Amino acid sequence: MLWHPSKKCYILNLLLVSFVFKSYGQYTEVINTNRPGVTIGAFGVSKSVFQIEYGFQGTSSKHSVKNYTANSNQYELDIRKGVLKDNLELFVNVRFTQSDSTINKFSKSYNRQVSDLSELRIGLKYLLWDPYKKTNLGERNIYSWRANKVIRLQNFIPSIALWASTSFNLEDNSFMNNPMVSKFSPAAGIITQSQLNDYWTLTNNVFVFNLLDKPAFYYDFRSSIIKGFKNSRWSIFIEQNTIYGDQYADLIIRSGIAYLSYENLQFDLYAGYNVKSTPRLLSVGFGGSFRIDKSDQKRLKTRY
């Protein structure tokens, strides 16, 4: 039986998620993860890091015009690895979905249950510009506590990364057999990330999917604001995701909370809700991220 979110899940929209990290280069002392939102950070993982991000998402949808309801469970797995140099990351995204939908037509109901791979994507992310390395943004004012906490105009100067990927669409697959999408469908994007002060981070994504398939071509705009807390392992976020294409358009708001258990392990919880009723979507998810950092092993060998 598929999981059905209750009305209590709506209150999760009051929560805010993702882990905010202080990063003046590619390597970070604690885990650098894209979860739990869909907004992707500019910084990748370094060559010494192998990282896995996993999660579960339950979604309830109802279409007011086509008169159908659907509930789905999605299992998410992202693999990230720094390659060649610290500012180049290789990633793999895998999604497996179980869907249970009911269509009401002419006083009859038709039920359809599907379980299959819903996404298989591989790509690269390259950190093109890091203002903390090229400017004095990372310098701290040792004479003024307030100067290190306030948000200044220069803090909006972002780190910039380029993103490119291709999805693999399988003919015999229940979710990826769209005849308007190529078997190998490329996508590209630009990522910006601004560290506003010690606790606030602003991230923006502009993606274009299905570049070679004009009927299925669409834009994907994502923005998130992340808030970390002083002397705390908790962080919160709120995110908007705007999708614009000929086949589908929507605005989805997500929010949630994350907890850094150890420097290499984080857990998260989030919820999402869209602004339209064709279909109306409500999603709730949870997951985690962990990394294997070879530099930790080197430090231990040096210490002992």
Q: What is the per-residue pLDDT across 54-78, written as a single tens digit (0 to 9) for each?
A: 999 999 999 888 888 999 999 999 9
Residue 103: which pLDDT band, with cuts at 50, 70 and 90?
A: confident
Q: Kindly state the average pLDDT of the residues 94-102.
A: 94
Is the pLDDT assigned to residue 223 strictly greater than 50?
A: yes
- pLDDT tens across 151-186, in order? 778 888 999 999 999 999 988 898 888 888 989 999
Instruction: Note down the domain range covering 32.
Output: 7-303
Say how far apart CA 12 and CA 8 lie, in whole Å. 8
Is the pLDDT assigned to residue 196 strictly greater than 70?
A: yes
Q: Is residue 46 part of a domain?
A: yes
Instruction: Give pTM, 2 decimals.
Output: 0.83
Residue 14: which pLDDT band, with cuts at 50, 70 and 90?
A: very low
| Residue in 39, 165, 169 with CA at minimum distance from that of residue 116 | 169
- pLDDT tens across 104-162, in order? 877 777 888 999 999 999 999 999 999 887 555 555 554 555 655 677 788 889 999 99
Which segments of 196-275 are extended strands (E)? 200-209, 218-228, 234-245, 249-262, 265-274
Pairing label, strands 184-195, 88-105:
unpaired
- Which residue type, as a one-letter code, is found at position 96? F
Q: Which residues of 89-114 are buried (b: 16+ CB within 10 A; e: fewer)?
A: bbbebbbbbbbbbeeeeeeeeeeeee
Q: Is 129 helix (H, G, I), strand (E, B) or coil?
A: strand
Say how far apart CA 85 and CA 115 lie, in whole Å. 38
- pLDDT tens across 252-288, in order? 999 999 999 999 999 999 999 999 888 999 999 999 9
Q: Is residue 1 part of a domain?
A: no
Q: Is residue 137 part of a domain?
A: yes
Residue 241: which pLDDT band, with cuts at 50, 70 and 90?
A: very high
Is the pLDDT assigned to residue 21 strictly greater than 70?
A: no
| Greatest alpha-carbon span in the chain | 75
Say how far apart CA 201 and CA 170 lie, in whole Å. 38
Q: What is the per-residue pLDDT for 300?
A: 40
Q: What is the token pair recorded at 116?
A: 């299959």
Say how far apart CA 224 and CA 203 lie, in whole Å. 5
Q: What is the per-residue pLDDT for 24?
A: 38
CB 102 within 8 A of CB 111: yes
Q: Is residue 2 part of a domain?
A: no
Say how far apart CA 153 and CA 155 lie, in whole Å. 5
Say how far apart CA 175 and CA 195 lie, in whole Å. 38
Q: Is residue 239 part of a domain?
A: yes
Distance of CA 93 to the CA centre of its chain: 11
Say how far apart CA 260 and CA 235 lie, in whole Å. 8
What's the domain count of the chain? 1
Say how far apart CA 35 and CA 237 lie, in whole Å. 11
Residue 27: which pLDDT band, with cuts at 50, 70 and 90?
A: low
Q: Is 303 helix (H, G, I), strand (E, B) or coil?
A: helix
Q: What is the per-residue pLDDT for 104?
A: 80
Q: What is the token pair recorded at 113?
A: 């249950």
Q: Is residue 31 part of a domain?
A: yes
Q: Is residue 186 part of a domain?
A: yes
Give me the sign of the Cα torsion angle 20, 26, 27, 31.
positive
Kind and range of the H or E run holding 55? strand 49-63
Eight-class DSSP state of 272? E
Where residue 126 sits, what CATH number does that domain have?
2.40.160.40
Q: What is the per-residue pLDDT for 138?
A: 53
Across all residues in the chain, what is the average pLDDT? 84
Residue 296: which pLDDT band, with cuts at 50, 70 and 90?
A: low
Q: Is residue 260 part of a domain?
A: yes
